[in-house]
């Protein structure tokens, strides 16, 4: 009887330990040395809803609208937070703004911007632009030849602050390229995408 009582007690004790066992840390999937995105970090992408209207420079006589689709959070290091827009002139084209961790010589919190275009064979593709959410030390390391950070910058006679001027992260293969492809974008954390330059010389400016 005493042995039976002991077994019952042991079973109850094991059950209590199992119930009190802590859940696994949901940040274990992060790269080594990385910290989770904070709400302040996530606000580096200012989009929550609503469309964004761009005008073609210099005459402002054509309009391109980025139509908001959704914003979702996965909290995975390769896609912590994602925002999607469709293009009004071709709704099969979709831009993505993805907060993630970029692995290079060290792990960095970055914003990956996938800009859609059609190549010379009319196939839809994307070109990747990447920028760190902190501009500290941007003039050295991975981004030194890809990004110029401007404390102030005049675009279309408007003064903008804390602007990232960004070139593509990778060179597009010639068979996947096209004149509609983007070769430079301008971004800040207040307005998001400010200006988009295409290889055909077209420049789109955010309407204010």
Rg (CA), the chain: 23
- Please answer whether residues 196 and 203 qualify as being in contact, where contact means their C-beta atoms are separated by less than 8 angstroms: yes
Tokens encoding 71:
């914003």
Distance separating alpha carbons of residues 196 and 62, to the nearest angstrom: 14
94, 113 in Cβ contact below 8 A?
no
Provide the residue-wise pLDDT of the chain in tens; the chain has 208 residues. Answer: 433 344 333 343 333 333 333 333 444 567 777 888 999 999 999 999 999 999 999 999 999 999 999 999 988 878 899 999 999 999 999 999 999 998 766 678 999 999 999 999 999 999 999 999 999 989 888 899 999 999 999 999 999 999 999 999 999 999 999 999 999 999 999 999 999 999 999 999 999 8
Q: Are 74 and 80 in contact (CB under 8 A)?
A: yes
The answer to whether 131 and 57 have CB atoms below 8 angstroms apart is no
Beta strands in 145-198 (DSSP E): 147-155, 158-166, 182-188, 192-198
CA distance 32 to 74: 19
Residue recorded with tokens 């994602």? 82
pLDDT, position 16: 33
Residue-range domain boundaries for the chain: 2-206
pLDDT of residue 157: 96
What is the end-to-end Cα distance of the chain in Å, rounded? Answer: 83
């Amino acid at each position: 009887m005493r042995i039976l009582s002991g077994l019952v007690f042991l079973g109850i004790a094991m059950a209590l330990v199992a119930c009190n066992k802590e859940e696994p840390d949901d940040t274990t999937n992060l790269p080594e040395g990385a910290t989770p995105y904070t709400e302040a970090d996530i606000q580096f992408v200012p989009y929550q809803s609503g469309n964004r209207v761009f005008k073609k420079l210099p005459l402002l006589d054509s309009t391109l609208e980025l139509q908001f689709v959704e914003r979702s959070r996965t909290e995975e290091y390769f896609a912590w937070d994602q925002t999607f827009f469709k293009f009004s002139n071709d709704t099969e084209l979709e831009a993505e703004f993805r907060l993630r961790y970029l692995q290079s010589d060290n792990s960095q919190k970055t914003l990956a911007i996938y800009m859609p275009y059609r190549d010379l064979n009319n196939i839809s593709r994307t070109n990747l632009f990447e920028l760190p959410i902190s501009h500290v030390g941007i003039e050295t390391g991975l981004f030194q030849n890809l990004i110029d950070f401007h404390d102030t910058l005049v675009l279309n006679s408007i003064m903008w602050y804390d602007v990232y001027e960004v070139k593509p992260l990778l060179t597009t293969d010639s068979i996947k390229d096209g004149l509609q492809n983007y070769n430079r974008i301008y971004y800040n954390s207040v307005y998001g995408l400010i200006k988009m330059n295409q290889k055909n010389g077209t420049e789109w400016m955010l309407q204010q």
